[in-house]
Amino acid sequence: MVSRSGTGRSPVPSKCAHSGRSGNSRRPTGGRSLAAGLSVMLGARCWPVPAAGLVVCCGGMIELVSDEGRAAAWMMLGRTDLRVPRLGLGVMVWGDMAAAPRWNPARNAYGPTSSLDEQREALEVSLAAGVNLLDTAAMYGKGASERRVGELTEGNDVLIATKFPAGFFSRAASLPATLEASLARLRRPVVDLYQIHFPSRWMSIATLMNLMADAVEAGKVRAVGVSNYSAAQLRTAHAALSRRGIPLASNQVQYSLLHRQPEPNGVLDTCRELGVTLIAYMPLASGALTGKYTAANRPAGWRRYSSVYRGNGLATLERVNATLRDLAAQHDKTRSQIALRWLVQRHVLAIPGAKTGPQAADNAAALSFVLAESEMDALNTASS
C-alpha cells in the first residue's frame, strides 16, 4: 500500500513542478510513477496499480497512464477518493424549461433546449464513451435540470455533481433543505460532488464549509467543491474544510482558450498548490471555439452578445480558430475536440455541454488522441 500515515492519502509533495503546459505523451515532469502490483490508498478506497502504472501528478492528484505514458480517461478528483472521467458533461439546459423564470440562464443562454429523446441519446452516447460525470445545479431551470437528470440516470452508473444555492438571495441556513430537495429531484440518496455555486457576501465561507462537512459526515455528500471562487476564497474554503478533516475537491470556473483568467488571477496555481481539481465550465467559450460562429453569424441566446464577437475579442477568436482549424486537419479531429484536448492536457476537468447525441460524441472524442508539446505551445501562443 502507498499511503500517508494517519490520513490514508498518497504521500505527495505539496506542489508539483509540472506546469501543465506540456502536451506530449511523456509522464508529467515531477510526477511519481508507482510500480505495477502495488495498490494506492486514496481516502477510504484502495485502487490497484495496473501494468501501466499510476502517476502522482500536480497537487497530489492521481492519474492512470498507459504503456505509452499517455493519460487515460480517468483521474482522481482532487485529493478525494472519487474517481472521475477526464471529461464531464454539462447539463444546464436539460429538462423542461417552460416553468423556469424568463431570466434564468438555463432558459436563455444557449437558445432553445433539446427534447427528452435527444437528451437521453446524449446521455447514452456519453456513458458509452466513459463520460459518466454530469454537472447540474439546483438553480438551473428552477430545478428542471436536476429533475431531468434524475429521470434519465435512475439505475445508471453515473456520477452527479450539483450545486447550492437554489436562488441568488438564499441564505446558508437553507443548505440542508436545498440538498434534500436536490436529492429528491435527482432520485439519489447521495450526491457525488456538492458545490457552492458562487461566493456571496451574505453567506460566510466558513459557515458554508461547515454545513458541507456536516452533509459529508451524514453520508449525503461524497465530495465538496466550490465554484467561481477566487484564489483567496479558495484558500479560506480549503482551510475551513481541513479543520473538519475533509479535502476540498474542486473549484469550477470559466476556463478556455478564449478565457484564461484563472492563470493570471492565481486560481489555477492555487488549485495545483492545494491539490484541488479545476473544473472548467464554458470550455468551448459558449460554442465560439467550435468554428460554427463568426461576427456575422452569431449563436442564439444571450451568448450572441458576448465580447468574443467584438473588437479585440474577435481578433483573438479568429487567431485561435485558425490554429484550431490547422491542428484539427492534422489530427482529423474537430476544432472543439482540439480545444477540449488542450484543457485535458493541462490537467483540467472540462465539462462541455451537449444537447444531443452527436454533440456528446464530438465532445467525448477529445479523449481519443494526444497533442504534441509543440501543438500545445501553438495554442498557448494563439490565445495569449
Give the residue numbers annotated as catalytic, written as ranges: 140
CB 107 within 8 A of CB 97: yes
What HEC string does 32-47 produce?
EEECCCCEEEECCEEE
Q: Are strands 221-227 and 277-281 parallel, antiparallel or unpaired?
A: unpaired
* Helix-strand-coil split of the chain, %, nearest 5: 40, 20, 40
Angle at alpha carbon of residue 101, lines to 95 and 106, rounded to 5°: 45
CB 56 within 8 A of CB 42: no
Whole-angstrom distance, CA of residue 354 vs CA of residue 121: 10
What are 124's three cell numbers? 447514452
Contacts of 152 (CB under 8 A, 6+ apart): 94, 119, 120, 123
> In terms of Cα–Cα distance, which of 30, 34, 36, 27 is closest to 3?
34
Whole-angstrom distance, CA of residue 164 vs CA of residue 172: 9
Residue 77, classified by CB atoms within 10 Å of its CB into exposed (0-12), middle (13-18) or buried (19+), is buried
CB 356 within 8 A of CB 126: no
Whole-angstrom distance, CA of residue 344 vs CA of residue 41: 24
